[in-house]
């Protein structure tokens, strides 16, 4: 296997045949966790792919939340390197990320490792696509030293540069949240001016797997010549849109990590409402 032939998706059957050649990461996380809802860690412990380790979206793949930076700011290089090293993931070996929600959380880890030039893929169809049995044995990986690497500027866009960038802007939240917001999690109604609604769930077909590249090229037609920036509520599910664009062969894409949780929390930034 080489980096050029690996990813960005793998099937359950492929993963079963190559399980000993990759590092598997469970990225299950739920938006209601901090309100007494489901726990990604508990879901992992109840049954996961054999040998998989678990990384937390809140603490491993993000810096602490704040109104100025958003709910899931990009983690400091030291935090991200430390999280990967803690679960024994050195630089270089290919990684497969999965969740139980169509890849909507796994895509965050995919985008971050991709930004660093690491070989990484998402399990197409998520946990449901795994053809084998699940394990409750929690691995005890040997920690490794992993040098922090600065985040490159290309795959990420800051709030102050968003509107002047010139690329098409896509909002991966549901159409309802795009138009009106959700008072439980959005700082105010609306969306970034000029953004297009592109709910991440519509990247998938009826089986829960990604649509064909042809369908995805049609879905993100505005990005084919201009490139694109994706955002969502906090910079997690936007990565699903970016993965879909990768499958469509669209180049010059970037993540607005702060997303609406940062943009909407600043009353000086403009907002549009409605569809």
Query: Catalytic amino acids?
Result: 232
Phi, psi of 120 (to 5 degrees): -155, 150
Q: Which parts of 220-270 fold into alpha helices (H)?
A: 223-226, 238-247, 259-263
Exposed e or buried b per residue across 216-250, where buried means at least 16 C-beta atoms within 10 angstroms of its C-beta? bbebbebbbeebbbbbbbbbbbbbbbbbbbbbbeb
Total count of residues recorded for the chain: 275
Residue tagged 């089986």 (tokens): 207
Task: Report, in angstroms and rounded to the nearest whole number, the Rg of the chain calculated over CA atoms.
Answer: 18
CA distance 214 to 217: 5
């Amino acid at each position: 296997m080489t980096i050029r032939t690996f990813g960005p998706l793998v099937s359950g059957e492929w993963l079963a045949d190559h399980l000993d050649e990759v590092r598997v990461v469970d990225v299950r996380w739920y938006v209601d966790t901090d309100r007494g809802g489901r726990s990604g860690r508990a879901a992992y412990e109840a049954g996961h792919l054999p040998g998989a380790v678990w990384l937390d979206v809140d603490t491993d793949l993000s810096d602490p939340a704040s109104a100025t930076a958003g709910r899931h700011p990009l983690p400091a290089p030291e935090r991200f390197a430390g999280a990967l090293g803690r679960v024994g993931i050195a630089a270089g070996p290919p990684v497969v990320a999965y969740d139980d929600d169509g890849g909507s959380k796994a895509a965050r880890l995919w985008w971050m490792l991709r930004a660093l030039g690491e070989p990484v893929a998402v399990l197409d169809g998520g946990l449901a696509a795994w053809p084998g049995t699940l394990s409750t044995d929690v691995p005890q990986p040997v920690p490794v030293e992993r040098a922090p690497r600065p985040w490159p500027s290309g795959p990420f866009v800051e709030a102050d540069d968003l509107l002047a960038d010139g690329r098409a802007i896509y909002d991966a939240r549901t159409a309802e949240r795009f138009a009106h917001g959700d008072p439980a999690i959005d700082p105010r109604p609306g969306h970034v001016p000029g953004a297009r609604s592109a709910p991440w769930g519509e990247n998938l077909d009826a089986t829960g797997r990604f649509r064909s590249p042809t369908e995805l090229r049609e879905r993100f037609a505005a990005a084919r010549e201009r490139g694109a920036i994706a955002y969502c509520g906090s910079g997690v599910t936007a990565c699903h849109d970016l993965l879909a664009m990768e499958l469509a062969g669209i180049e010059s894409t970037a993540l607005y990590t702060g997303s609406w949780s940062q943009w909407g929390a600043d009353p000086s930034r403009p907002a549009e409402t409605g569809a």
